[in-house]
């Protein structure tokens, strides 16, 4: 019997009162297919399930609750069409993510790898929402999907943030908030984190309210207490001093903000949302916070690009004065200490000219913030820091697209990493057009990049390593096993092996491989280490882990699809290269760990 048919002993679904019928159809146990079938039974139920009605809106909300924030006005929205569009976007996202492993397993995802994403025929937030669904899948499965979904989401969000940054830089200077600029940098370097200007501003407002409370105890009639948000208050110097004293009390005494002297070169010190969480930072990030609060309370502080130590200045004379002695200089890193010109020089240990005491624009503040991140990226040598270097270069070149020095650094970085050779050629062509005197360096990189492209064309595919080959008989361990390094104690997972050390003579000499009993003439293993590094370890230095656990490495999904609790399962692309290793790993795990569980 159909849902609309009446029972001889009672009512059918179509005979129920409208509110009760709607309540039943909005029940979370029904799916979209159920609603579709119900709407086909009769006119009454078709009207109850109309595309713009509550039933399809509730179906959309139950399936994708995070998307409702994109609908400020829900009147007139066809929820059925939105449901279909989101569903189709999900299928397309899954198709693209699934294709990435096969296409890019052998190399980093190149720029043109995202071309099919940029031409999607669906709203980008639908596509992003599906990627988040993939990333939030529970359990230890789908690691390869999660790995590529994360890369795609990283790319999409960064492209959107760059667009917002360029729009920000095109505004008049007086409409460029220092806080918003700091948030944009933070977002670009941490695109997968939940960072937004509204949230950061709300946290700053909370601090501002605390300052007002302290100010009220000192001066209940202070003009800043009566001012409304966004209202410009002109204060006498003494009233401004009261604001700054209250700020120092709240920031440094109550909330314990401080300059991070012990871990100064940590990149977290540059990210404004981390400064608010950890209550520590470097001079420029703390200055942005200090300046923002002061301006909200009627004190117009200005940023000073002082060498080695970013400062703020507070006018004590005529507004807009060019005399550096008309200003007091504030060290937000030093608990808001107020400095004279001479004390500023004592701070850095040498004399500087007057130009370094001048005010700088928001773009110049961002340039210095990005410059700090660039220097951090150059200081480090881990894989993770290359991402920081790449991100900060992107930001710098978004602000100064014709800067030859940084364009050359970007070209050399990509060349060094062996990625995006076509993009390297584009960058080099741009450099040559900007500065023909660079032809020597440009010519060298062009030649070697073209050779790299030709070698890539000649590649016949991945080498398949069979266990039955005579040259592989000494290989004891297999792909996916959780191992421990005997000497250094780190845990790792094997994702590749060679029957003997395949590194060059210089690497062998630098790593002192000849000091090992078996030297380079033993199997060596590519391993992902729990600290995020990739290493090449000798067989005699590895042993089975007594307590196998997940390895928190960012590239784990590139090679493995699942963690079973005892070992990793190679994904399809890795299994093609080591076809017998999967069964060998399973047998090894069964032999090693089964006795301990019995």
How does residue 72 score in pLDDT terms, banded at 50, 70 and 90? confident
CATH code, 470-594: 2.30.30.390
Three-class DSSP category at 492 = strand
pLDDT of residue 161: 95
DSSP 8-class letter at 251:
I
Assign 3-class secondary structure to 49-79. CCCCCHHHHHHHHHHCHHHHHHCCCCCCCCH
The pLDDT value recorded for residue 100 is 84
Region 289-303 average pLDDT? 95
pLDDT, tens digit, for every residue of 299-341?
A: 999 999 999 999 999 998 788 888 999 999 999 999 999 999 9
What's the rounded Cα separation, in Å, for the pair 325 and 343? 12
Residues 6+ apart with CB under 8 A from 501: 508, 513, 520, 521, 522, 524, 536, 538
Q: Give how far Cα 277 sits from Cα of 246, 269, 270, 273, 498, Å.
A: 21, 11, 12, 6, 46
Give the bridge partners for 572, in sequence order.
none
Interior/surface letters 204-234, b for 16+ CB within 10 angstroms, e for the rest: beebbebbbebbeeeeeebebeebeeeeebe
For residue 169, is pLDDT > 80?
Answer: yes
Question: CB under 8 Å to 12, separation ≥6 — which residues?
Answer: 3, 4, 5, 6
pTM: 0.86
What phi and psi values does residue 497 have, to the nearest 5 degrees?
Answer: -150, 155
Reported as half-sphere exposure (CB side, CA atoms, 13 A), residue 467 has a value of 15
pLDDT band at 11 (very low <50, low <70, confident <90, very high): low
Is the predicted pLDDT of residue 393 greater than 50, yes or no? Answer: yes
**Does the pLDDT at position 145 exceed 90?**
yes
Burial level of 134, CB count in 10 A (0-12/13-18/19+)?
buried
pLDDT band at 230 (very low <50, low <70, confident <90, very high): low
Please tell us whether the domain made up of 369-458 is placed in CATH 3.40.718.10.
no
pLDDT digits (tens, 9 = 90+) for 434-477: 999 999 999 999 999 998 888 877 777 778 999 989 999 999 99
For Cα atoms 209, 213, 217, give the angle at the middle one, nearest 5 degrees. 160
Query: What distance in Å separates the CA atoms of residue 401 and residue 318, rounded to the nearest whole number?
Result: 38
- pLDDT tops 50 at residue 6: no
Rounded distance between C-alpha atoms, residue 35 and residue 79, angstroms: 13
In this prediction, residue 383 carries a pLDDT of 55
Is the pLDDT at 422 greater than 90, yes or no?
A: no
pLDDT of residue 502: 95
pLDDT tens, position by position, 175-219: 999 999 999 999 999 999 999 999 999 999 999 999 999 999 999
Residue 385: the pLDDT is 56
Q: Does the pLDDT at position 149 exceed 60?
A: yes
Q: What is the DSSP code (8-state) at residue 111?
A: G
pLDDT band for position 562 (50/70/90)?
Answer: very high
Query: Is the per-residue pLDDT at 1 higher than 80?
Result: no
Contact 332, 290 (CB under 8 A): yes
Structure-token match 């220092």, residue found: 178
**Tens digit of pLDDT for each residue in 83-112?**
999 999 999 899 889 888 877 766 666 555
568-570/560-563 β-pairing: antiparallel
Res 378: pLDDT: 86
Coil/strand/helix, residue 262: coil
Q: Which of 419, 427, 428, 411 is nearest to 383 (CA)?
A: 419
Alpha carbons 56 and 74: distance in angstroms, whole number: 12
As a whole number, mean pLDDT of residues 120-144 equals 88
Task: Report whether pLDDT(508) > 90.
Answer: yes
Domain ranges of the chain: 17-57, 82-101+109-170, 197-366, 369-458, 470-594
Give phi and psi for 162, each to the nearest 5.
Answer: -60, -40
The string of pLDDT tens digits covering residues 244-283 is 999 999 999 999 999 999 999 999 999 999 999 999 999 9
Q: What is the mean pLDDT of the chain?
A: 90
Give the dihedral sign, CA 273/278/284/289: positive
In this structure, what token pair is assigned to residue 63? 């399936």
Distance from CA of residue 273 to its chain's centroid?
13
Assess contact for 446 and 545: CB atoms under 8 A: no
∠ at Cα 267 (263, 268), nearest 5°? 80
Which band of pLDDT confidence, cut at 50, 70 and 90, is reported for residue 8?
A: very low
Pair of tokens at residue 332? 């937000």
Average pLDDT over residues 423-442: 94
- For position 163, what pLDDT does the model report? 94
> How many residues are given for the chain?
598
Cα separation, 307 vs 162, whole angstroms: 28
pLDDT beyond 90 at 45: no
What per-residue confidence (pLDDT) applies to 316? 85
pLDDT digits (tens, 9 = 90+) for 358-389: 999 999 999 999 999 999 998 875 555 588 99
Q: What is the mean pLDDT of residues 534-555?
A: 94
Dihedral sign for Cα 106, 161, 411, 430, please. positive
**59 has pLDDT over 70:** yes
- pLDDT class for 491, splitting at 50, 70, 90? very high
What average pLDDT does this structure show over 226-240? 78
Q: What are the backbone angles phi and psi of residue 13, rounded to the nearest 5°? A: -60, -40
Contact by Cβ (8 Å): 343, 311: no
User: Does 596 have pLDDT greater than 90?
Assistant: no
CA dihedral 145, 150, 151, 157 (to 10 degrees): 140
pLDDT of 3 reads: 47
Using CA atoms, how far apart are residues 523 and 544, in angstroms rounded to an integer? Answer: 16
């Amino acid at each position: 019997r159909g849902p609309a048919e009446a029972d001889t002993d009672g009512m059918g679904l179509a005979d129920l009162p409208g509110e009760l019928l709607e309540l039943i159809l909005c029940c979370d146990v029904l799916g979209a297919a159920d609603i579709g079938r119900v709407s086909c039974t009769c006119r009454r139920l078709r009207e109850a399930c109309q595309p713009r009605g509550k039933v399809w809106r509730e179906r959309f909300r139950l399936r994708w609750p995070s998307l409702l924030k994109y609908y400020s006005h829900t009147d007139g929205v066809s929820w059925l069409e939105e449901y279909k569009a989101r569903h189709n976007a999900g299928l397309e996202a899954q198709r693209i993510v699934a294709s990435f492993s096969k296409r890019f397993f052998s190399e980093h995802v190149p720029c043109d790898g995202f071309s099919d994403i940029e031409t999607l025929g669906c709203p980008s937030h639908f596509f992003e929402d599906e990627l988040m669904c993939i990333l939030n899948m529970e359990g230890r499965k789908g690691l390869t999907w999660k790995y590529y979904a994360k890369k795609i989401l990283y790319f999409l969000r960064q492209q959107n943030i760059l667009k917002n940054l360029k729009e920000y830089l095109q505004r008049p200077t007086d409409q460029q908030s220092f806080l918003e600029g700091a948030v944009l940098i933070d977002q670009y370097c941490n695109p997968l984190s939940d960072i937004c200007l509204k949230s950061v501003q709300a946290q700053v407002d909370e601090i501002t309210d605390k300052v007002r409370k302290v100010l009220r105890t000192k001066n209940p009639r202070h003009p800043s207490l009566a001012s409304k948000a966004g209202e410009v208050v002109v204060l006498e110097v003494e009233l401004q001093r009261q604001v700054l004293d209250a700020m120092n009390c709240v920031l440094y005494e109550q909330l314990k903000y401080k300059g991070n002297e012990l871990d100064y070169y940590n990149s977290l010190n540059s990210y404004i949302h981390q400064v608010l969480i950890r209550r520590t930072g470097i001079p420029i990030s703390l200055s942005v916070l200090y300046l923002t609060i002061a301006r909200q309370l009627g004190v117009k502080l200005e940023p000073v690009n002082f060498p080695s130590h970013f400062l703020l200045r507070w006018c004590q004379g005529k507004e807009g004065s060019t005399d550096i002695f008309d200003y007091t200089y504030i060290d937000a890193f030093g608990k808001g200490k107020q400095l004279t010109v001479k004390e500023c020089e004592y701070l850095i240990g040498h004399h500087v000219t007057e130009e370094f005491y001048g005010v700088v624009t928001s773009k110049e503040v961002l340039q210095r913030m990005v410059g700090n991140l660039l220097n951090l990226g150059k200081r480090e040598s881990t894989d993770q820091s290359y991402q920081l270097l790449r991100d900060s270069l992107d930001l710098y070149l978004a602000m100064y697209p014709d800067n030859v020095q940084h364009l050359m650094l970007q070209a050399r970085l990509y060349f060094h990493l062996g990625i995006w050779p076509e993009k390297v050629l584009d960058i080099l062509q741009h450099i040559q057009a900007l500065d023909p005197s660079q032809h020597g360096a440009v010519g060298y990189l062009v030649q070697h990049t073209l050779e790299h492209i030709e070698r890539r064309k000649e590649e016949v595919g991945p080498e398949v390593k069979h266990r039955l080959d005579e040259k592989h008989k000494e290989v004891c361990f297999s792909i996916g096993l959780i191992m421990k390094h005997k000497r250094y104690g780190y845990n790792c997972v094997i994702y590749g092996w060679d029957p003997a050390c395949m590194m060059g003579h210089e690497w062998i000499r630098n790593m002192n491989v000849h000091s090992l009993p078996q030297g380079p003439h033993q199997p060596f293993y590519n391993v992902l280490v729990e600290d995020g590094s990739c290493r090449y370890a000798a067989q005699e230095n590895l042993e089975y882990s007594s307590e196998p656990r997940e390895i928190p490495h960012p590239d784990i999904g590139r090679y493995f699809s699942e963690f079973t609790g005892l070992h990793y399962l190679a994904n399809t692309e890795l299994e093609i290269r080591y076809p017998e290793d999967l069964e060998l790993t399973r047998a090894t795990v069964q032999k090693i760990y089964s006795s301990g569980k019995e």
